[in-house]
Chain A
C-alpha cells in the first residue's frame, strides 16, 4: 500500500529489569502491609511509573503523573461504599441485589471515568493523552451488549470484546489527534471460536484419559462433598495430572486469543487528525501500529511465568511481569508519517479519581 511506504518506523523499546523491579515491588508490598494499605496508593503510582518510565518511544519515555493522594481518596470511597453495603445487607437482604443492580447501571460511567483518569495522567513529551467523555457508546457497550451476550448465552461475547476495544481506542486522543480503530467483528469471532475449540478439545482429552479415576475421588466423612476430596493417593495423582493438563490447554487457548486480539487491535489502530472525521482508504494516518505477538511464544511465557511463580512461592512475580511486558512492548511496530512536531496540546481538564478507583478495585479497568 502507498501509505505504508510513506510511514517511517519509530523505535519502541522496554528497559525494565527484573532485579531492579523486584526491589521496587518488594518495598511497595512491605510499606503497604506496614501502613495497613494506605501506602498502596503510592505503591500503585510507583509501580505504574516503573513500567511507563521504562517504555521508550523514539527515545522518550512515557510518564504516569497521577497523584497518590487522589488515588487514596478514591480507594477510601470505594472501601466505604463496600463496607456500607455489607452492613446494610445484614439488615436488608435486598441490599446486595440493589447494589449489584446499581453497580451494573453505573458500570459504563465507571469505565469511562477510569479511562479518562488513566489517559489524562499518562503523558509523553509533556503532553497528556485524553479520553473522550463518551457515555452513550459506553452504555451501548457495557449495558446493551452485555445484556445481549447474556441473552444469547455468550454468542455475542466476541462482539462485546470487539465493542470494548473499539470504545477504548476510538475515544483516546493525543493532542489534537485521535486514535481510530477499524477492525471488523469477524476476526474476533474467529479467534474466540478457535480458542473455545482448544478448551473443548482439552476437556475431551482429559475426560477420556481420566474419566474413570475421577469417579473414585469422593472421600469419606467430608464436611463439604463438593470439594472433590481425594481419599487415596491414586486419586491425588490423577487430580494433579488432570489439573496440569487442563491448565496447559487453557493456557494455550488464552495465549492464542490474547496474542491475536492484541495483534488485531494494534494493527487496526491509527492516530489521525481529529478533523478528519471521515477516514477513507487513502487517508494517511500520522501514526500506524502493527502487533506481532506469536501464540507459541506467549504460551511459553505464560507457562514458564506460572511455573516460576509457583516454584519461587511468588518471589518471581516481578520477573514474570517484566518479561511479559517486554515481549508485548517489543512485539509492537510503530511507524510515523512525520515528526511529532505537528501535534499540539488540547485544552486540559481536571479528571477526578473516584471512577477510576472503582474500576481498578473491581478489575474492570482495561489498561492501554
Chain B
C-alpha cells in the first residue's frame, strides 16, 4: 500500500513530502528527498479518524507524518493495531442512523431525568436530611426581608393571639420536627409565605380580607404543606441538579450559550414550583377534610387574593410561565370535595 504524507522531524516546523510504502508484512517505509526511515506499522501511533481532519502518524523517532489518505490508513489500522475506542466511536459518528439514535437516547435521558429522576431524587434527599439543614437554608432570610420589604404588623393583639392559638393546634397535629412559628407582617399585599425552617409569615392585608378565620387557616394549611413537603430544600436541590445535568449533557458550552441554558432553567423552575403549589394545596385539602373544615374557604380566599383579572387570561400562552397554577384549576378540588361531602 502506498500514500503521500508530509513529514515533520519534530525539530523544525518544516514539512517534507514523503511517500509511505507499506508492505504486506506491515513493514512501513518513509521515503522522500531528505527522509529515509522504516519501522513496523504497529510501532506508529496513529490518530483516530475525526471528521475530515488530517491524520497524524507518530513515528518512534519523534517525527510525525500528516496525511489525509483515510481509507488506506483505516485499512492498515484495522489489520494491525487500531484501538477499540477509535474504531467504534468513528463508526457511530459516521452513520446517520446511529447519530439519530444517539440524539433520541440523549433527549430521552435528559427529559426523563428532569421530569422524573431529579424531582424524586430531590424528594428523597430532602426528607433524609435533618431539620438543621432547613434552618441553615433559612438563616438570615427573615431578617433581610424585615429590613427591606416587610414591616411590623398593625393587627390588634387579640386577633394575633386568636390566630396563634389556632395555628398552635394545627401544627401540634402535624407530627413533624420543624419548629413552626406564625409571624405577622405587612408590606407585600394580601399574602402569606413559608420559610423552610417552619416560619410562616402572614400579612395584615390577608387577615383583613378574610371574612372568616378558617379562610386564614386554609392559607396556613397550604403553607404548612410547603414546609412538611420540604419544598424549599427540594427546589434548591432541583435547581442545582438541573444546572449540573445541563452542563454535563451539553459539555463546556461556555459563557455565551450559558445564557441560552438559563432560559430552560427558568421555565423548568416555574414548572417545578407549580407542582409544589399543587402539592401544598393537596395538603391543605386533606387537612381541612380531616378536621371537618368547609373547604370552600380555601376557594374563597384564593379568589380574593388573586383578584378577577386572572380568569380572563387563564389559557393564554403565558400561563405556562406562571409559578402558580391557574386559580380555577386550584380551587376546583376544594369545590368538588365540598359538594361530595
Contacts and interface: CB of A to CB of B under 8 A. Distances in A.
Contacts, number: 229
Contact of A232 (B11, B102, B310): B310
B249 interface: yes
Contact of A27 (B14, B102, B251): B102
Contacts of A25: 251
Given A49-B50, A227-B323, A314-B250, 7 more contacts: A43-B251, A63-B56, A126-B13, A231-B324, A314-B249, A317-B253, A343-B13
A33 B249 CA distance: 8
Contact of B306 (A28, A218, A232): A232
Contacts of A50: 50-51, 53
B99 A26 contact: yes
A61 B56 CA distance: 10
State the 5 A-B residue pairs at the shortest beta-carbon distance, nearest first: A53-B53, A126-B8, A233-B313, A125-B13, A309-B260
Interface residues of A, dominant DSSP: helix
Interface string B27-60: 0000000000000000000010011111010000
Contacts of A345: 10-12
- Summarize B's interface: helix, strand, loop or mixed: helix
Interface string A7-28: 0000000011100111111111
Interface stretch (A179-187, A188-196, A234-242): A234-242
A225 B199 CA distance: 13
Interface string A208-240: 000000000011111111110111111011011
B93 A233 contact: no
Interface stretch (B120-128, B161-169, B218-226, B286-294): B218-226
A117 to B, nearest CB: 15
Interface stretch (B152-160, B189-197, B331-339): B189-197
Given A24-B51, A126-B13, A306 B257 contact: yes
A43 B249 CA distance: 12
Contacts of A46: 50, 89
Nearest to B48: A46
Contacts of A230: 270, 321-324
Residue in B47, B106, B269 whose Cβ sees the most chain A Cβ within 10 Å: B106
A104 interface: no
B10 A30 contact: no
Interface in A332-349: 339-341, 343-345
Given A49-B53, A306-B259, A222 B323 contact: yes
Interface string B246-272: 101111111111011101101001100
A363 B255 CA distance: 10
Bin chain A's interface residue count: 35 or more
Given A27-B99, A127-B10, A221 B54 contact: no
Given A60-B66, A229-B273, A234 B313 contact: yes
Contact of A47 (B47, B64, B98, B251): B251
A251 interface: yes
B188 interface: yes
A315 interface: yes
Given A20-B52, A33-B109, A126 B192 contact: no
Interface in B227-255: 231-232, 235, 246, 248-255
Interface in A156-214: 175
A28 B251 contact: yes
Interface in B74-104: 85, 89, 92-94, 96, 98-99, 102-103
Contacts of B63: 126
